[in-house]
Amino acid sequence: MGNISIDSANKRDVIINHGALQPLLKAVDTPNVKFEIIKPGTWAISNSCRGRPLPSLERVRSAIPTLCNVVCSQTDQDILIDAVWALSYLSRSGETIKDVMNCPKVIPILASLLS
């Protein structure tokens, strides 16, 4: 899914519009998820949130809580990079910035990562 999403905005939108993002979010946000799932899963979520034109915010906004959970629970640098990039792609409106800010503990962690 991540490779297809990054290939073109049209392909990404087909994947998103057919509901493939929701099972991926669930897989990544499962308690005790294995590294072998969370790393490529977070990368695929990030690729689903990027590109030109950007995907419909209505279709990808549901990724924010999962990405916040990833940022708050993971220490692997590659996973964190993908999760933070995805949050940056999603933070393009005041409404979604508010969604990110409402995630418990994420703002101090994001600030810490910047330093």
Mean pLDDT computed over 13-37? 93
What's the residue count for the chain? Answer: 115
Q: How many domains does the chain have?
A: 1
CATH number at residue 10: 1.25.10.10
Mean pLDDT computed over 21-50? 93
Largest pairwise CA distance in the chain: 39
Is residue 51's pLDDT more than 90?
no
What average pLDDT does the chain have?
91
Q: How confident is the model at residue 2 (pLDDT cuts 50, 70, 90)?
A: confident
Range of the domain at 110: 2-114
Distance CA 65, CA 86 (A): 12
CB atoms within 10 A of CB 11: 15
Amino acid 73: pLDDT: 93
Amino acid 5: pLDDT: 75
Tell me how far CA of residue 14 lies from CA of 1, 17, 29, 58, 59, in angstroms. 11, 5, 23, 14, 11
Distance CA 16, CA 20 (A): 6
Mean pLDDT computed over 12-29? 94
Q: Quote the tokens at residue 9.
A: 């905005």
